[in-house]
Amino acid sequence: MKDSELFMKKTDLNELRKDPLLGRWVAVLNRSMPPSEYTMPPQDAHEETCPLCRGREEEAPKEIMSIREPGNQHAWLTRVIPNFNPVFKIEGDLGRRGDGMYDRMNSIGANEIIVESPEHGRPPEDLGLDQMTKVILTYRDRITDLERDPRLRYTLIYKNAGRNAGAVFSHPISHLASTPVIPKRVKEELDGAKQYFAYKERCIFCDIMREELRVGSRVINETRYFMAFCPYASKFPFETWIMPKRHSCSFQEIRHEEIEDMALILSGTLKKLRSLFTDISFNYFIHTAPNRVPRKDHWHTLGEDFHWHLEIMPRFLNTSGFEWGSGFYILTTSPEDASKYLREA
């Protein structure tokens, strides 16, 4: 029996494998799905059976943290639990090792579900500004807590809304994944921002904001501390970015007065999308700085060249073979027109 086969039999951990050509990591689950499972419909719990609803807490994994109603510690407003079937697990060690010419390690990290609302059918943007503010506070507190673990390099907050976006629960939730490597998509942003700063000695994200405010045609909304806009070279129709006006590389450094403002612009943008498109599916995610483990000549300009932001990706179209094969996206609605429709919604 090969060492790799013996290892897989001894552990219930998933593993990470590195693509030597592109430098990206993929997670390989220890239980491979047979072909029959790929045709099963996604789970869609209704209120009567949903383990994420208030009053059914014993049916879900043990709570990690929550925000409660003042004076009523039994009534939670947001709640964080481990994922039911986590890809990344906090217990264990990385176990970095070679496999012939390849690199692999244990899938150490964190997989969490952030329950955004105690009400099954009502997302936080429909419950008022205070509820969305609590969701953002929960995001901040979880990233801050996981940043203390030296094994973890990156924490991604993301949301899957609607079946076309990969949602498996109809209860409003977000997800958290904390990984021992920096995901390739994030690393590309980090490297691009660093190169721009090395050339111009300015943050590329701050320059983008100044240009978008100067032109105005792609701006959707602006508040005191944030702006929402459709990127100049969007990958998908109605793609929207929300960015803080104050330069900051780390989302968890968001100030108290900025949190409510972010809740306002995020809620407003999601409502605009929903008013234009019935039953819209979308993903959003926060790109923030990685855990700043010291690396020679690598992170010393991170505080100056990177700028955290939130990206919203509506899921209208299936990606074609041309786009998968080339990385060259075809945009069916221009950013200028998309932002106009959203401004007027």
Q: Which domains does the chain have, with CATH numbers?
A: 3-179 (3.30.428.10), 184-344 (3.30.428.10)
Cα atoms found within 13 Å of the Cα of residue 1, Cβ hemisphere only: 8
Residue 214 neighbours by CB under 8 Å, 6+ apart: none
Per residue in 230-272, pLDDT (tens digit) is 999 999 999 999 999 999 999 999 999 999 999 999 999 999 9
CB 243 within 8 A of CB 209: yes
The mean-pLDDT minimum among 107-111, 185-189, 323-327 falls in: 323-327
**The predicted structure's pLDDT at residue 42:** 57
Q: What is the pLDDT of residue 126?
A: 95
Amino acid at 253: E
Question: CA-to-CA distance for 327 and 194, rounded, in angstroms?
Answer: 22
Cα separation values, 252 from 190, 308, 309, Å: 17, 10, 12
CB 110 within 8 A of CB 78: no
pLDDT digits (tens, 9 = 90+) for 41-73: 555 567 778 999 999 999 999 999 999 988 887
pLDDT tens digits, one per residue of 140-185: 999 999 999 999 999 999 999 998 898 989 999 999 999 999 999 9
Question: What pLDDT score was predicted for residue 22?
Answer: 84
For the chain, give the mean pLDDT. 90
Give percent helix, percent strand, percent coil of the chain, each to the nearest 5. 35, 25, 45
Q: How far is CA 75 from CA 71, 112, 170, 176, in A?
A: 9, 20, 21, 23
For residue 265, report the phi and psi dihedrals to the nearest 5 degrees.
-75, -35
Q: In what order do the strands lie in the sheet with 219-222?
A: 65-69, 72-82, 110-115, 173-179, 154-161, 282-287, 309-314, 240-244, 226-229, 219-222
Confidence grade of residue 37 (pLDDT, cut at 50, 70, 90): confident
Least confident interval from 14-18, 284-288, 308-312:
14-18
DSSP 246-306: S--S-GGG--HHHHHHHHHHHHHHHHHHHHHSTT--EEEEEE-PPP----TTTSTTHHHH-
